[in-house]
Amino acid sequence: MENTSQGTIFGINGPVIKVRGKHAFQMLEMVLVGHDRLIGEVIRVLETETIVQVYENTTGLKPGEPVISTGKPLTVKLGPGIIGNVFDGIERPLAQVAKNTGIFITRGNVMDNLDREKLWDVRILVKPGDYVTQGKVLAEVKETESVNHKIMVPPNVKGEIIEAASDGLYNIDKIIVKVRDGKQVHNLTLVQEWPVREPRPYYHRLPLDIPLITGQRVIDTLFPMAKGGAAAIPGGFGTGKTLTQHQLAKWANADIIVYVGCGERGNEITEVLEDFPKLIDPRSGRPLMERTVLIGNTSNMPVAAREASIYTGITLAEYYRDMGYDVAIMADSTSRWAEALREISGRLEEMPAEEGFPAYLPSRLSEFYERAGRVETFNGTEGSVSIIGAVSPQGGDFSEPVTQNTKRFTRCFWALDKALAYTRHYPAINWINSYSEYNDDLSDWYSKNAHVEFTDKKKEISRILQEEGKLLDIVKLIGSDILPDEQKLVLETAKVIRQGFLQQNAYHEQDTYVPVKKQYLMMDSILRLYEKAMMLVNLGIPVSVIRRSGVFDEVIRIKYNISNDDLGAFDELNRRLEKTLEEIEAEYK
């Protein structure tokens, strides 16, 4: 650690610094820049100079100031105290920053990433004489009411335990176990370090056949996401990327949520901080904040740290995965991260590829999304990291490089649509352009856990929507009045699906989250109505007569009228609908 390799600043251009002097710097090494010891990272090593990107504002730096090597890459500290916290892009706790510098973030904030005073109630699970290898759980700490933090043997460490502490209250620096590997003795504490740009190892990958249930109907039924999968949410401004991300962070059935606010609004971080402690996780009955960690590197914070924030986030996610948890990470927005790459690349005068983005944009994106996955860990548990990345295409145009390249490396594509957002159809996920390639792999799970007919019903729902799309092209030209009644019924039913099923109000107490069983029953009621109404239409009863009875409106209002814990009400509803339709039929005969 006390490496004295040192150079001096020669040139300064925004966050990019040229360093000359003794050239013992390593690629991707973390360095301390200037008298204020700003944190930086070596991004290029040349014969005569080294290029460093600085994670803080460089105003006021001068040529000649020292640049000190730390001998290690940019790393994060992993241990108890992460959950419930808010960090900047390089894992500095923002609450601590606020204690030091008040409402504004100033530079040169050197601080501990994790609280070193706090005492944790540690339960030791090993004893001297045990032989341990990487990933083995040494101890457990109740990090929050919802999260049992497992202290693991760090990757690449193995050996025989020669000393183990007894259960007790310890801070994170306490050596709880000493492991001897040949001549070397590892002193293991409650914390380990890991370089953010390197994926953490696991035993092997598992198939992606369990859905990440989100409680959002259009996602869970039409475009489901797998635990360990990767999804993209592209959309122009105001189409609902952030709100969808927040909804998933609130309701997805993951054990841990890592939310990365990457180059977006400060108020959106504040909102999570205000809401999550008050919202209750329907599964644990505990506040959502107890399973959530936030990384906030907002648009006005230094751009190099924005670039790092994505890696910091995914590394935290992998760490909890290694304990056997299902982790979901939301990155809002990956486009801002790509732009940070572009900005740094521009300062380095690299040859740009498309729209000024560097040629390595696709490989960086693929490396990031490859870190998603469901795995068997080294301690024999199963864990997953699911990545949900928002994409903010310039001009809302999906043909731009970030959207196109993201599409290659993700398998769920939830395309947000400006036209839908303008009509306040939320979530504005376009049901024609979106897709999920996990559909087939997950259908078994749905038939076992939701309903055997789940997949059939959803196919029928999609079919009606597709047909509506075709009919609407005709309606645009001639109006709907002269369509045959069968087709009018398709339009009417599609409207019920859109308004009653696809539209979901994030601000409504019941509608904000809907269990899969209820999603099934809603589809079921809609399709029953459709079939029965089709029979009437075939008997020559006009759709307008059926409409006047109010059956369609009643189904549209299911989401508000039948609460999530009263699924018995569906039987009653279906009977009532049937009765109304029978009455119409009787009257008509």
Ligand X SMILES: Nc1ncnc2c1ncn2[C@@H]1O[C@H](COP(=O)(O)OP(=O)(O)O)[C@@H](O)[C@H]1O
Please state the closest distance from residue 264 (CB atom) to ligand X, in A.
8
Q: Does 396 bind ligand X (CB under 6 A)?
A: no
Residues 494-513 binding ligand X (CB under 6 A) are 504-507
> Cα(321)–Cα(326) distance, rounded to whole angstroms?
6
Residues 215-274 binding Mg ion (CB under 5 A) are 241-242
> Cα(98)–Cα(100) distance, rounded to whole angstroms?
5
Residues forming a β-bridge with 260? 295, 331
- From residue 194 to residue 233, the character string flagging contacts with ligand X as x (rule: CB under 6 A) and all else as - is ----------------------------------------
Residues forming a β-bridge with 259? 294, 330
Sequence letter at residue 521: L
CB within 8 Å of 202: residues ≥ 6 apart: 321, 322, 373, 375, 376, 377, 378, 383
Q: Return the one option of Mg ion, another protein, ligand X, none that residue 235 interacts with (CB less than 5 to 8 A, by type).
A: ligand X
Q: Does 192 bind Mg ion (CB under 5 A)?
A: no
Please state the closest distance from residue 499 (CB atom) to ligand X, in A.
13
Residues 456-495 binding another protein (CB under 8 A) are 475-481
- From residue 268 to residue 307, the character string flagging contacts with another protein as x (rule: CB under 8 A) and all else as - is -xxx-xx---------------------x-xxxx-x----
Residues 60-99 binding another protein (CB under 8 A) are 60-65, 86, 94-95, 97-98
List the structure tokens of 330.
């939301």
DSSP string, 381-430: -EEEEEEEEEE--GGG-TTSHHHHHHHHH-SEE--B-HHHHHTT-SS-B-
- From residue 420 to residue 449, the character string flagging contacts with ligand X as x (rule: CB under 6 A) and all else as - is ------xx----------------------
Residues 556-585 binding ligand X (CB under 6 A) are none
How many binding residues for another protein (CB under 8 A)? Answer: 79
List the structure tokens of 438.
């996990």
Q: What is the CA radius of gyration of the chain?
A: 28
Residue of the chain from 7, 159, 261, 389 that contacts another protein (CB under 8 A): 261
CB nearer Mg ion, residue 220 or residue 264: 264
DSSP string, 241-294: HHHHHHHHHHHS--SEEEEEEESS-HHHHHHHHHHTTTSBPTTTSSBGGGGEEE
CB nearer Mg ion, residue 153 or residue 421: 421
Q: Are 223 and 433 in contact (CB under 8 A)?
A: no
Q: Does 243 bind ligand X (CB under 6 A)?
A: yes
CB nearer another protein, residue 354 or residue 456: 354
Residue of the chain from 71, 396, 515, 542 that contacts another protein (CB under 8 A): 396
How many other CB atoms are found less than 10 A from the CB of residue 44? 15
List the structure tokens of 242.
């952030």
- Which among 253, 245, 262 is positioned nearest to 88, based on CA atoms? 262
Please state the closest distance from residue 203 (CB atom) to ligand X, in A.
37
- Which among 453, 458, 485 is positioned nearest to 471, based on CA atoms? 485
Q: Which stretch binds another protein (CB under 8 A): 137-145, 173-181, 344-352, 571-579?
A: 344-352
Q: Does 241 bind ligand X (CB under 6 A)?
A: yes
How many binding residues for ligand X (CB under 6 A)? Answer: 14
Residues 141-200 binding another protein (CB under 8 A) are none
Please state the closest distance from residue 419 (CB atom) to another protein, in A.
9
Residue of the chain from 39, 42, 105, 522 that contacts another protein (CB under 8 A): 105
Q: Which stretch binds ligand X (CB under 6 A): 101-109, 192-200, 239-247, 290-298?
A: 239-247
CB nearer ligand X, residue 218 or residue 385: 218
Provide φ and ψ at 295, rounded to 5°: -115, 120
- Which among 272, 508, 225 is positioned nearest to 387, based on CA atoms? 225
Provide φ and ψ at 524, rounded to 5°: -60, -45
Q: Does 28 bind ligand X (CB under 6 A)?
A: no
Q: Return the one option of Mg ion, another protein, ligand X, none that residue 117 interacts with (CB less than 5 to 8 A, by type).
A: none
> Cα(588)–Cα(485) distance, rounded to whole angstroms?
16
Residue of the chain from 109, 171, 239, 455 that contacts ligand X (CB under 6 A): 239
Q: How far is CA 356 from CA 175, 361, 398, in A?
A: 49, 10, 17
> Cα(336)–Cα(332) distance, rounded to whole angstroms?
8
CB nearer ligand X, residue 319 or residue 337: 337
How many binding residues for Mg ion (CB under 5 A)? Answer: 2
> Cα(33)–Cα(7) distance, rounded to whole angstroms?
10
Please state the closest distance from residue 214 (CB atom) to another protein, in A.
20
Residues 508-567 binding another protein (CB under 8 A) are 550, 553, 556, 560
Q: Does 237 bind ligand X (CB under 6 A)?
A: yes
Q: Which residues bind Mg ion (CB under 5 A)?
A: 241-242
Q: Which residues bind ligand X (CB under 6 A)?
A: 235, 237-243, 426-427, 504-507
